[in-house]
Amino acid sequence: MTKFIIRRILISIPVLIGISFLVFMIMQLAPGGPMAAFGQNPRMTAEQRAAIAHNWGLDKPVLEQYVTWFFSMFRGDWGTSFVTRQPVTQLILDRLPATLLLMLTAYIIQQLIALPLGILSALKRYSLTDKVLTVLTYIGFSMPTFWLGLILVYTFAANLKWFPSGQITNPRDPAFNSATYWPWFAANPLTAIGSLAAHLVLPIITLIVVNVAADSRYMRSSMLETINQDYIRTARAKGLKEGTIVRRHALRPALLPVVTNIALTLPALLGGAVVTESIFQWPGMGLLFISSITAADYPVMIGIVFLLSAFILVFNIIADVTYAIIDPRIRY
Amino acid sequence: MIDSTQKITTPAQAPRNNDAGEITTQTRSQAYEFWLRYRRHQMAVFGTILFGLLILIALLGPFIVPEPVVNTATMFQLKNKPPSLEHPFGTNVNGLDVLGLVVYGARISLFLSVLAMLVACAVGTVIGIVSGYFGSWVDAVLMRIADVFLSVPLIFVLLLASRFLVNPPPEGGTGSNGVEDSSLRSIILLPLIIGLLTWPAVARLVRSVTLSVKQQEFVTSARALGSKDGRIMFLHILPNVINPVVVAGTLIVGQNIVLEAFLSYLGYGIQIPLRSWGTALAQSQNEFVNGNWWWAFFPGFFILLTVLAINFIGDGLRDALDPRNKR
Amino acid sequence: MEPLLKVNNLKVAFKTDGGLVKAVNDVNFYLNEGETLGIVGESGSGKSVTSMAIMRLLPTPPAVIDSQSEVLFRGQNLLKLKDDQMRKIRGKEIAMIFQDPMTSLNPVLTIGKQITESLKLHMKMDDKAANRRAIELLKLVGIPSAEKRLGDYPHQFSGGMRQRVMIAMAISCDPKLLIADEPTTALDVTIQAQILDLLKRLRQELGTAIMLITHDLGVVAGMCDRIQVMYAGKIVETAKAKPLYANPRMPYTIGLLNSIPRLDSEGENRLIPIQGLPPDMVTLPPGCPFEPRCAYRQPAVCQSKVPELREVEEGHRAACLFDITKETPIPEQPAPEVVATATDVRTSPAG
């Protein structure tokens, strides 16, 4: 098993290098090269630009630049933001809690809704419930996430005023990323949690609709495939009750591919972060990314893409390993 | 469409011969069989009709609805008008007819999404076939490259790429890109970028089909007879790959429409004066306080309808082209 | 004595996109206690569907069982039972072994769990007793070091061993009737013989009636008391094993026997394949379904009248309008146009 995990990690390393190369090449391909990116910062003088070019080794050959850049990333030296002059790692770390809070809550709620719906739909195949769920999943799956966010904001925030239209805290309360937030949280836990919950509702709905549709569909087809297997017929021939057959014989094989899928949808949720956070002004990594894009804050952008890619790779490994653990047929 | 699955005879297909050699059950052509299966898929038929209507709107709409151009003279009078007979979808903050935005946006949105899909399918099919056919180190290298593209957060890298390639900041703070220039660049580069970032899904699919076709006897015998690799890939493997690629391609178009819309909504996609459904939605959020919901609602609703229609069609195609999936 | 199982007018059809597939058309037969009945036919002849209909394991829809049909098991019509009554019969009174042991066992449950679950359900055994019984059963079906293997998963067994596990599962509750649906088809030839020997031994030791379904006349030869041949959803010949082999009376059976290679045959008896394909089960011909492929056919008569099963000798019934035997000379006539020797063309969804 350890061997399997190590092998799995080893084949991810070239992929990570490939990702860094891809990101680096996008910068190189830009008209004017990577230096063009710094041009828009009006606070920067020509000398400063030259200094940066020299510091980053931008006056050297492309391949050498890449190697230098890669090793500095690898050492954890992700540079400093052109806008705030803070270290990129610090900036990202500041924004991480808000993103993780949103993602993890959404992630759990998503599975709690999607899996039971998928199983129900499969077991009641061709029933009215199944048909209604099928149509709903199609609509959910086709939903342009950011538009759904806009509609929710208009309806439930701007119009009905049930929920706040954005941000993570009320304007009067301390900001989420500030030093005063946690002391305030400790002093007024109920108010703070209530406020967080209220701010979470609309972003979470926006974030999970597409994934709930996709995951429940996946669960449904996996369940359907399982209950058509020969061994389910064997179980029926034994005289077991349908409920027992589903619980004891069908559920685990049907969940096997779903578990992999569950691990793989977390990165997909991260992609949704940029959409949801931009609509709801949620102060996480996605919003940081959007503002760094606007300001051409090159080190921050690269840092975020790199971190998320590493995240996705790790989750791919986790998906493979869990699959290997729960399926007795796979030997490592 | 010489798929291996066609060998499975359904009761309706199995020809019955009596002594006169007369075939009582007509052996139907494959295209007809496909049509019969497709037609039975209610949602696919609904999707096809819906999509046909949307195409009609994209093609004919611009001849009926005037092009939305900001008119400083009437801008304030027409600002944020709710839906009425004159403006069925209302107007936006610049006094533009939202119906006009939807109609003109349809062309660009559909064109761009289809083009990006074609890029992805072309690249993905070639790489998938080569990877699956040659195997060994060729396969290993190509699939690791595919992994790279599958492991980057798509929307982030898209934003990054379109920010730097489509809409690059003026160099050294001096000299600026003309408006026309950036809108032209956006319509050419954006589909390329989207296509070049989304091909790996197609490549993986094609590779797996290639691997299974490669094992079949007609490929082995073609190779035994001395056919060249290129010929085998083109004549024997490509036809088997087409059906799954058509299905995947359809679904990719839907995905592209949403991607493009989001990029353009943020201002990093299609550049005005070209208009897509995404540009139509940009800034619409700011007018919620003025009670303007129609500006945000209608373009997005058309995106939803289109993607829904495409997903219905994709599912219908899958069922009709791949009878193995049916029970 | 009343037979253990009596099937009356069994008709099963499947709703498909291509129309109603009439898989089983008015089948009547019986099976006495302790008897072994062989049901032989090509894929699509309705033999598997018949067995699944007896167990009520056909999904409805798409399957439709005619309301006049009766499956009397010890005088009780199984087709009219409530679901929970039927469940008490499945696995306890009637057990079943399926064709493919590779897919018929649950891959994520240990075989111990899979064997003991019937025991706990039907025999109300506790864990300990069920485990003890499971070990006994595994020993009975010839699995070495049975104690150690209870915790193993199906993929750790070979195909033949898995089929032994399936048999152990099936006989666990001492069923009165064991339905074996192509139990050896998916196995190697040497393993086939072992499994058949095992079934023979169990029949002697336990006295279970067996319904053995196969497409291979060779398999049923040494094993069955009676054999019935099915074609296009009908029984076309039935007799005790010996007379059926010695003196087949239906051209289809003659054809089947002629297509089995034999070493002991004297002279230069060639293999004679049956020409053509089985009929389309959606639009059955008005006459004899075997007529298009029959070497002895007389089109004018055979195409207009469906031959019913009739007594040709005592205890030997065949569905042919003529008195054909192996000695009847094959008349000269143009060969059927399709030369495919289709013995395994699937025509019905359930195979």
pLDDT at B179: 56
Exposed, middle or buried, B8 (CB in 10 Å: 0-12/13-18/19+)?
Answer: exposed
Q: Which CATH superfamily is B32-69+86-320 part of? A: MetI-like (1.10.3720.10)
Percent of chain B past pLDDT 70, that is, above it, reads 85
Rounded to 10°, the helix A189-227/A145-152 angle is: 140
Higher-confidence residue of C300 and B11: namely C300
Q: Are A237 and C166 inside 8 Å of each other by CB?
A: no
Nearest by CB to residue A304, choosing from B156, B284, B303, is B156
C-chain residues near B10 (CB < 8 A): 16-18
Domain that holds residue A191: 95-219+255-298
What is the per-residue pLDDT for C277?
77
Handedness of CA A217, A222, A223, A228 (dihedral sign): positive
Q: Do B19 and C299 touch (CB under 8 A)?
A: yes
How do residues B268-287 score in pLDDT, each as one tens digit? 888 878 888 988 888 888 88
Please state, in angstroms and as integers, the Cα–Cα distance from residue C39 to each residue in A85, B140, C213, C227, following that order. Answer: 85, 52, 5, 6
Question: Helix count (H) and strand count (E) of chain C?
Answer: 11, 13
- Tell me which of B38-42, B236-240, C129-133 is least confident: B38-42
Q: Does B110 contact chain A (CB < 8 Å)?
A: no
Which residues from chain C sit within 8 angstroms of residue A329, using beta carbons?
107, 153, 155
Q: Quick one: pLDDT at residue C1?
A: 66
Domain C5-224, classified CATH 3.40.50.300, yes or no = yes
Query: Is B284 within 8 Å of A114 (Cβ atoms)?
Result: no
Strand, coil or helix: what is A222?
Answer: helix
Q: Is the pLDDT of residue B2 over 50?
A: no
Of C218, C219, C217, C216, the C-alpha closest to C199 is: C219
Q: Higher-confidence residue: B306 or B222?
A: B306
**What secondary structure letter does DSSP report for C26?**
E
Mean pLDDT across C295-320: 82
Question: Which stretches within chain B are classed as H helix?
Answer: 30-40, 42-64, 98-134, 136-151, 154-161, 179-214, 217-224, 229-231, 238-266, 277-281, 294-321
Cis peptide before C61 (omega within 30 of 0): yes
Asked if A234 and A250 count as a contact pair (C-beta separation under 8 A), the reply is: no
Which residue, among A224, A227, A231, A251, would best test binding to C if mutated, counting the most C CBs under 10 Å from its CB? Answer: A231
The reported pLDDT for the residue numbered B172 is 40
Nearest CA in chain B to A279: B285
Measured CA to CA, the distance from residue A236 to residue C57 in angstroms comes to 7
Q: Which of A197-201, B124-128, C231-235, C261-265 has the highest mean pLDDT?
A: B124-128
- Asked if residues C42 and C214 have their Cβ atoms less than 8 Å apart, the reply is no
| Long-range contacts at C84-87 (CB < 8 A, ≥ 24 apart) | C84/A241, C86/A239, C86/C56, C87/A239, C87/A240, C87/A241
Could you tell me the pLDDT band of residue A43, with boundaries at 50, 70 and 90? Answer: low
> Is A315 within the bounds of a domain?
no
Q: C184-212 pLDDT, tens per residue?
A: 887 788 888 888 888 888 888 888 899 99
Token duo for residue B89 = 């979808």
Confidence of residue B256 (pLDDT cuts 50, 70, 90): very high
Mean pLDDT across the stretch A232-257? 88
So what's the ipTM on this one? 0.85
**Mean per-residue pLDDT, A195-214:** 91
Interchain proximity B12–C18, CB inside 8 Å: yes
User: Rounded to 5 degrees, what are φ and ψ at C52?
Assistant: -65, -35
Cβ neighbours of C221 (radius 10 Å): 16
Residue-wise pLDDT tens digits, A130-141: 999 999 999 999
Helices (H), A245-327: 251-280, 285-294, 298-326
CB contact under 8 A, C277 and B14: yes
pLDDT at residue C263 tops 70: no
Phi, psi values for residue A123, rounded to 5° = -70, -30
Please give the Cα distance from A62 to C304 (Å, whole number).
Answer: 87
- Looking at chain B, the whole-number percentage of residues with pLDDT higher than 90 is 28
**Rounded-to-integer distance, Cα C98 and Cα A230, Å:** 8
* B22: closest chain C residue by CA: C337
CB contact under 8 A, C336 and B11: no
A272-303 confidence digits (pLDDT tens) = 888 899 999 899 899 999 988 888 787 888 88
Contact criterion met (CB below 8 Å) for B43 and A138: yes
Chain C: touching chains (3 or more CB pairs < 8 Å): A, B
Q: Which two tokens stand for residue C104?
A: 């018929």
Q: What band does A320 get if pLDDT is binned at 50, 70 and 90?
A: confident
Q: Check residue A85 and give its pLDDT.
A: 82
How close, in Å, is residue B19 to chain A by CA atoms?
39
Domain assignment present for A79: no
- Provide the 10 A C-beta neighbour count for residue C201: 13
The residue in chain A having the minimum alpha-carbon distance to the alpha carbon of residue C87 is A239
For chain C, the domains span 5-224, 245-347
On whether residue A150 sits in a domain, the answer given is: yes
CA distance B266 to chain A (A): 9
> Total structural domains in chain A?
1
pLDDT given at position B20: 36
Q: What percent of chain C has pLDDT over 70?
A: 91
- Asked if the structure places residue A145 within a domain, the reply is yes
When CB atoms are compared, the residue of B19, B24, B37 closest to C336 is B19
Please tell me which of the candidates A234, A256, A327 has its beta carbon nearest to residue C98. Answer: A234
pLDDT for A261: 79
State how far the Cα of B313 lies from the Cα of B310, in Å rounded to an integer: 5
Does residue A210 register a pLDDT over 60?
yes
For the ranges A5-9, C15-19, C98-102, the lowest mean pLDDT is seen at C15-19
Say yes or no: B144 contacts chain A, CB-CB below 8 A: yes
pLDDT of residue C347: 37
Give me the pLDDT at residue C271, please: 67
- pLDDT tens per residue across span B184-197: 888 888 999 999 99
Distance separating alpha carbons of residues C87 and C68, to the nearest angstrom: 22
Predicted pLDDT at C266: 53
CA distance A229 to chain C (A): 7
- pLDDT tens sequence across B279-311: 888 888 888 878 888 888 999 999 999 999 999
Q: Tell which residue, C311, C182, C333, C332, has the closest CA to residue C250.
A: C311
Please say whether the beta carbons of C40 and C230 come within 8 A.
yes
* Tens digits of residue pLDDT in A52-106: 777 666 667 778 878 877 888 778 788 788 778 888 888 999 888 899 999 989 9
* DSSP result, C124-139: ---HHHHHHHHHHHHH
Using pLDDT thresholds of 50, 70 and 90, give the confidence band for residue B12.
very low
Mean pLDDT (chain C) is: 82
Q: Is the peptide bond before C62 cis (omega within 30 degrees of 0)?
A: yes
